[in-house]
Amino acid sequence: MQIGKREFQTEGHTYVMGILNVTPDSFSDGGKWNDRDRALWHVEEMLAEGADIIDIGGESTRPGYTLLPEEEEIARVIPVIEALKSAFDVPVSLDTYKAGVAREGIRAGVDLINDIWGLKYEGNMAEVIAASGLPCCLMHNRPSPEGGKIAEYVSFMRDVRGDLEDSIRLAREAGIADARVILDPGVGFAKNYEQNLEVICRLDELKGLGFPLLLACSRKSVIGLTLDLPADERLEGTLATTVIAVMKGCMFVRVHDVKENVRAVKMAEAILKGGKK
């Protein structure tokens, strides 16, 4: 899969996506990188540690987040995208579910659109991506009843698979080629604790849809609840999910702590290869 100037394998290797939140309120690093100079310093750090792609987000989507006006999200991310593309030769992903933000990000030079609503939030998001020719990551999510945090399911994994199939259908109808689609099981979104663990355990079933997978568990509540730890002490739990992602054949892991996760990927892949180069 071509993402920016780089060719990525969809099988046989797990790449590390470094998170750059230019937000004041993200759940684990809000306010740390929402200044352009600090953001660029952090990108330089992540690239030195082995990040393969950078994912920029301008709106926190932590549980209970407040919807950010499109204009404010654009004002947060576009200057950083432009500066990043000018300073570094690295593929850049834009984490947004708003078509207007995606359109401006594409104009600024992003290489992939990462949509936490899987094309279902705004009807023209699929058309914006299709017109750009860019690849996209479509995440599993579904509205919760009466404003609650957890969605309702009849048969959890069957419903997750069906929701992702709906996103794939929207992509195809808009003209987005299958070869430009990555799927994300949506750990931490519209799922309770047990369901988050289950979807990680059963990634194989989603891989059966025929698309590469991205796993994004870094520092999330499923780790905090399992280990009874705050967000800034969830590195080991994140590394465990990264090793699972490698074993399940995921194309990407999306993480805050790049260096440690790059090492975990390298070790897990060496074991799976049995020492063969």
The C-alpha R_g of the chain, in whole angstroms, comes to: 17
Q: Which residue in 54, 50, 133 sits closest to 87, CA to CA?
A: 54
Residue 59 near residue 25 (C-beta atoms within 8 A): no
pLDDT tens-digit map of 187-235: 999 999 999 999 999 999 999 999 999 999 999 999 999 999 999 999 9
The answer to whether residue 87 scores a pLDDT higher than 70 is: yes
Per-residue pLDDT at 48 = 98
Residue 240 banded pLDDT, cuts 50, 70, 90: very high
Least confident of 35-44, 167-176, 196-205, 262-271: 35-44
Pairing state between β 6-7 and 2-3: antiparallel
State the average pLDDT over residues 81-93: 96
Least confident of 27-41, 70-84, 161-175, 229-243: 27-41
- The H or E element containing residue 183 is strand 181-184
Q: 200: Cβ–Cβ under 8 A, 6 or more apart, which residues?
A: 185, 187, 215, 217, 222, 241, 244
Per-residue pLDDT at 139 = 98
Q: Which residue in 40, 191, 210 sits closest to 201, CA to CA?
A: 191
| For the chain, percent of residues with pLDDT exceeding 70 | 92
pTM given for the model: 0.93
Per-residue pLDDT at 170 = 98
Per-residue pLDDT at 235 = 98
| For the chain, percent of residues with pLDDT exceeding 90 | 83
Supply the mean pLDDT for the chain. Answer: 92
Q: Which residues are designated catalytic? A: 220, 254
Residue 100 banded pLDDT, cuts 50, 70, 90: very high
In this structure, which amino acid lies at residue 257? D
State the average pLDDT over residues 180-186: 98
